[in-house]
A and B are shown apart, each in its own frame.
Chain A
Amino acid sequence: MSGQMTGIPILSILVALPLIAGIVALFLSASGARWLALVTTLVSFALGVWLWSAYDPGGSQWQFVEHYALGGGIAWAMGIDGIALMLIMLTLFLMPICIGASWRAIEKRVPEYMASFLMMQALMIGVFTAQDLLLFYIFFEGGLIPMYLIIGIWGGAERIKASYKFFLYTLAGSVLMLIAMLAMILTAGTTSIPALMAYDFAPSLQWWLWLAFFASFAVKMPMWPVHTWLPDAHVQAPTAGSVILAGVLLKMGGYGFIRFSLPMFPEASAEFIPFVYVLSGIAVVVTSLIALAQHDMKKLIAYSSVAHMAFVTFGLFAFNRQGIEGAMIVMLSHGLVSGALFLCVGVIYDRLHTREISRYGGLSDNMPKYALLFMVFTMASVGLPGTSGFVGEFLSLVGLYAVSTWAAVVATTGIILGAAYMLYLYWRICYGKLVHADAAAMKDLSGREMWLLAPIAAVVFWMGVYPESFLRPMRADVGRLLERIDRAKPAGDSHLTAGKPAPATPAHAEAH
């Protein structure tokens, strides 16, 4: 509201600022590029904090709206609701941390690297702010390019293979999505996302459109069985690349479901619930078991991401408030926690240059600060109450149970398996004796590393103890979504019958 009144195109500024800084960075020295990137991301974050404070949770659905027709079909249309706001905040919060994480780890082609990150920030903000279908598409697919470069140029030994796999998967999905978008534009006669969210497509058409969008979002999420690009991409990506990949890029799939699939194709979404639940259930069980068998730290956390993102799809397709709000909190929490876990991996990778779990062990002795923070994020990952992980998982499972007890039983096994693989990892890294001399020689967290991890820990606790700060901005928008999808809402499988309290039954009386 206030944003509109002041008339500052804050969303465009948030997109343009890193874009311009990225171009400037290309012409600077390595250290100049680092500082420019850090300052830009910090200023963006400050603008984000202002955006959050200016956002009115009880106000109109779309705030900070901007609209400039570009001619033809496309418009530079921007605006956010509470859901987008939270994901923007996540992005802006993680970006300075990513720059900080790359401060010493990246030594070659630093200006290009920083430019890629700044470019990616611009595109990701664009994804969450775009109100025009085609604008959204450009941001959505364009965001892959910097990520692709980051893996392909600054990645590990098998970076080409990994970036190729990443490219192939995502491209396959996006082609289908583009075709679906064209069909939507032709049918509805508009490219405006808010208009399309209120447009009722014929159920038969919805079916095809839903599948086409699903192809793209399921890959981004990622859902089983189109997840196999993720472990490779994470393993090969530099630390900051993994952080942003897990932290924000994976959230674009969930955002897509919540912005497109559910409100635009409610009937089809309801029809595909069993399909989504089966894939999500397999993801929880299978990828958790795979995580248990990993020897590579990054792969383990990558697989755990797949399992966690299944809680998002479970929650979203529960068609109720707890499920959808839970899914959103899982996304935010996973963005923080898995980002932090990849940073934790990066901290020791930078020192020993191996991701092999067995090369570590006993780090509690020589790296107590590290062990403490790693424990905090491990517990947040297993969903310990008091951390952000619990609030999201709990809400989405509450929502899920109301629709399908079967699915809830399968999904809830995730809390057992999650504890098993994460604590087994923690044991092998931090507990035991320092058996390897090189691991024993590693120093504890530096001041810079503390500044990367401690703020995330603080937000993890904040979201775990007082999630209301994060739920409040989204409440009205989830309500609008619920109104929209209410007509397709599935009946639960609990079939509760009324009690017959009446006089105490003979069996009951006899018990005393």
Chain B
Amino acid sequence: MHPVIFIVFLPLLAAIIAGLGGRVIGKTASKVVTTGSLFIGAALSWPIFFSYLGGHAEPQVIPVLEFIKSGALDVDWALRVDALTAVMLVVVTTVSSLVHLYSWGYMEEDPSQPRFFAYLSLFSFAMLMLVTADSLVQMFFGWEGVGLASYLLIGFWYHKPSANAAALKAFVVNRVGDFGFSLGIFGTFLVFGTVSIPAILAAAPSMAGSTIHFAGMTVETMTLLCLLLFVGAMGKSAQLGLHTWLPDAMEGPTPVSALIHAATMVTAGVFMVCRLSPMFEVSPTALTVVTYVGAATAIFAATVGTVQNDIKRVIAYSTCSQLGYMFFAAGVGAYGAAMFHLFTHAFFKALLFLGAGSVIHAMHHEQDMRYYGGLRKEIPITFWTMIAGTLAITGVGLFGVGFAGYHSKDAIIESAFASGTVHGTIAYAVGIGAALLTSFYSWRLIFLTFYGKPRWAGSEHIQHAVHHVHEDAGEMASDHDSAQDHGVPKVEGTAGYHPHESPWVILAPLVLLSLGAVFAGFLFNGAFIQPEGGPEFWRGSVAFSEHLAHAMHEVPAWVKWSPFVVMLIGLAIAYRNYIAKPDAPAAFVAMFPGIHKFLMHKWYFDELYDIIFVRPAMALGRFFWKRGDEQTIDRFGPHGAAYAVDVGNRITTRLQSGYVYSYALVMLLGLIGAATWVFWWVR
């Protein structure tokens, strides 16, 4: 049997064992089974990845079971393995196994650990089904499966109303995306007569120039299909417009944020566009839209990230912004760079989230950075690993050697410029702007958390810890929506609290992910993005453009230098405002209250959606129910008839009792009468 069978199905088995049998086998056994299944998966995945890296492995499809057969629609459960899948396999199994391990420490005190680990493994299974999909339907299975796991994990602490609201929001907003994805699948089946991905990709070029009608419009066939599918990608990958669920998803436990809402699930949209890249290549219009949406998300999320006070929310918006980079890379045709950034981002963003979790752990569940400060000496290992993550995300590096993000993000920015199109150039400019903000908010996080004087005394959580007030696991984590943030008085001092460095099960994943954040870019850029290694590695699993890969190297020197320069500017602004002159941010807010408020309210998307979707839906529901069903249909239908019957009843008083038997009797007699009548009539 091909190892991918075990990689994919062991986590499912483990999830079932831990989920259904958790009470019987106990929490330790549940944790061993689930964590073990993912480590086995990781151990089996890396050799597959290296075999593609070595350039001696061919794409394979391993059939599992028949699924749906309905006329021309013929879908099997099957696992596809090629270079693109191999990349995703190592990302998913590596991050997932480390997150499982990390959770041993992070969730130590939680009473529902078997449930938590079962959900994590269930998620991993669904994600692996998604990345090994050979048909759009199986991809959709994985797509919705990760959505379910995400829903269950965001709402893991189901005692909290905010967690439940966030979980519901995540599922429903994703369903809006899936609405587009579904229509895209229906349309694809109509056009190509199949949902098999290789068959669609092979046939796609022949549909260039074809037109189709859709809901009253006449559009280019491939543009329609790509854009419908892309709506799905926007939902899953939290792109502008459908992004509102991602920040709220921080209600989930931090390991969940690292695994699902940073490293894997949210990148599914990017993966989808890359998987279907030969389709998107046929529609320049669709690619232009992808570019603009990605660029807009990159800058939008970065601006909002600069004002967040909750450490997890900073990283959440950062994720949203980085996903924007991946999309505009795909939009300009640099699929290798998009996948490369997905790959490196998985390591450094999981690292940042898990590092934030370690900080939160040390600070007794306080997430507000305004109550941090001076932590670098208290939790040095966490500090240094987070520095590695920050150097990676801000893209530190020169002359072809640097941290992970330097290799992948710079490749995206240069590709955008090199594409030579208008939208490519705009994406380049936006990407540079977002890179400046990325550097600023990332260093702001580091400076607020680890530098300066301790400001712990003002925190309720710290006060609780000092005074030994018991807190329920679900209430300990407290996510902050910045729209509801209010100013807090700055109280310096430790309140007598001593943060402790986290145990080794938490630190080991941090250290291992740091290796990825430091070396992943340097080691693998040859295969992912270079014109020499790229075609050899991808082997057609994405529409790798050698031409663009060459052009990327021939951009003017100022373009190559620009990300580095803005990174330094962002660092300098952060240093000035949070180390050199800590009072400067307040002065800035006082000077531009409008901008600050706009950013704190996250460009007012939530408020807007509440007014145009949520409230009207409930109001319409009540309207159709009371006014429609009860006051119109019933009034003129059965109640009207009842009234008429009632009048009739006054004549035949015997029926007036309304007793149920009499109606039954009348009906039965009527039936017999009718049948008899028919019987004679026909004869």
Contact = CB atoms under 8 A, between A and B. Distances in A.
Nearest to A420: B172
A145 B70 contact: no
A367 B209 CA distance: 58
Q: Which of B70, B189, B621, B628 has the most CB of A within 10 A?
A: B70
A372 B20 CA distance: 9
A413 B211 CA distance: 25
Contact of A496 (B69, B186, B210, B681): B210
A163 B663 contact: yes
B212 A72 contact: no
Interface in A230-244: 231
Interface stretch (B136-144, B338-346, B589-597): B136-144
Contacts of A148: 660, 663-664, 667
A191 B212 contact: no
Interface string B608-626: 0000000001101110110
Contact of A160 (B19, B658, B667): B658
B624 A286 contact: yes
Interface string B540-554: 000001011000000
B617 A292 contact: yes
B516 interface: no
Contacts of A134: 675, 678-679
Contacts of A466: 65-67
Contacts of A496: 190-191, 210-212, 221
A365 to B, nearest CB: 8
B223 to A, nearest CB: 12
A191 B642 CA distance: 35
A498 interface: yes
A427 B622 contact: no
Contact of A416 (B175, B333, B624): B175
Interface in B238-279: none
Interface stretch (A31-39, A77-85, A391-399): A391-399
B158 interface: yes
Nearest to B182: A412
A137 B179 contact: no
Interface in B615-673: 617-618, 620-622, 624-625, 628-630, 633-634, 637-638, 641-642, 658, 660, 663-664, 667-668, 671
Given A182-B678, A228-B629, A385-B145, A322 B205 contact: no
B504 interface: no
Interface in B525-570: 545, 547-548
A225 B625 CA distance: 12
A256 to B, nearest CB: 17
Contacts of B66: 466, 468
A384 B149 CA distance: 12
B629 A290 contact: yes
Contact of A468 (B69, B175, B618, B624): B69
Interface residues of A, number: 103
Interface in A387-429: 390-391, 394-395, 397-398, 400-402, 405-406, 408-409, 412-413, 415-417, 419-420, 423-424, 427
Interface in A375-393: 379, 384-386, 390-391
A167 B663 contact: yes
Interface stretch (A41-49, A95-103, A334-342, A487-495): A487-495
B493 interface: no
B187 A167 contact: no
Contact residues on B (Cβ < 8 Å of other chain), bracket: 35 or more
A16 interface: no
Nearest to B641: A168
Interface string B127-155: 00000000001001100110010010001
B164 A494 contact: no
B660 A511 contact: no
A379 B145 CA distance: 10
Given A148-B664, A508-B284, A293 B68 contact: no
A405 B674 CA distance: 44
A500 interface: yes
Contacts of B681: 182
A507 interface: yes
- B interface SS class: helix
B621 A291 contact: yes
A138 interface: yes
Q: Which of B19, B419, B633, B663 has the most CB of A within 10 A?
A: B663
Interface string B36-76: 00000000000000000000000000000111111101000
Nearest to B634: A228
B214 interface: yes
A185 to B, nearest CB: 6
A413 B180 CA distance: 10
A401 B187 contact: yes
B682 A501 contact: no
B29 interface: no
Given A144-B667, A467-B68, A511-B333, A432 B158 contact: yes
Nearest to B205: A501
Q: Which of A165, A228, A510 has the most CB of B within 10 A?
A: A228
A423 B173 CA distance: 13
Given A148-B667, A496-B210, A293 B621 contact: yes
Contacts of B675: 134, 137-138
Contact of B658 (A164, A185, A423): A164
B638 A169 contact: yes
Contacts of B660: 148-149, 152-153, 159-160, 163
Contacts of B190: 401-402, 492, 494, 496
A320 interface: yes
Given A292-B621, A415-B179, A325 B683 contact: no
Contact of B547 (A290, A364, A413, A512): A512
Nearest to A416: B175
B205 A408 contact: no
Given A290-B625, A512-B547, A412 B284 contact: no
A432 B66 CA distance: 40
Contacts of A497: 210-212, 221
Contacts of B620: 289
Contacts of A153: 660
A394 B671 contact: no
B73 A74 contact: no
A505 interface: yes
A117 to B, nearest CB: 16
Contact of A432 (B144, B161, B625, B628): B161
Nearest to A508: B284
Interface of B: 19, 65-71, 73, 77, 137, 140-141, 144-145, 148, 151, 155, 158-159, 161, 164, 167-168, 171-172, 175-176, 178-179, 182-183, 185-187, 189-191, 205-216, 218, 221, 284, 287, 333, 419-421, 545, 547-548, 617-618, 620-622, 624-625, 628-630, 633-634, 637-638, 641-642, 658, 660, 663-664, 667-668, 671, 674-675, 678-683
Given A293-B618, A511-B421, A512-B545, 4 more contacts: A141-B667, A149-B664, A169-B637, A286-B628
Interface of A: 72-74, 134, 137-138, 141-142, 144-145, 148-149, 152-153, 159-160, 163-165, 167-169, 171, 178, 181-182, 185-186, 191, 225-226, 228-229, 231, 286-287, 289-294, 320-322, 325-326, 362, 364, 372, 379, 384-386, 390-391, 394-395, 397-398, 400-402, 405-406, 408-409, 412-413, 415-417, 419-420, 423-424, 427, 430-433, 465-468, 471, 492-502, 505, 507-508, 510-512
29 contacts: A72-B679, A228-B633, A228-B637, A322-B70, A384-B148, A385-B144, A391-B68, A394-B182, A397-B182, A398-B73, A400-B186, A408-B186, A415-B178, A417-B617, A419-B172, A423-B151, A423-B171, A427-B155, A465-B65, A467-B67, A467-B68, A468-B68, A494-B212, A496-B210, A499-B206, A501-B207, A507-B284, A508-B284, A512-B547
**For the complex of A and B, 10 pairs with smallest distance between CB atoms:** A293-B621, A152-B660, A73-B682, A500-B209, A401-B186, A321-B71, A385-B141, A289-B621, A499-B210, A499-B207
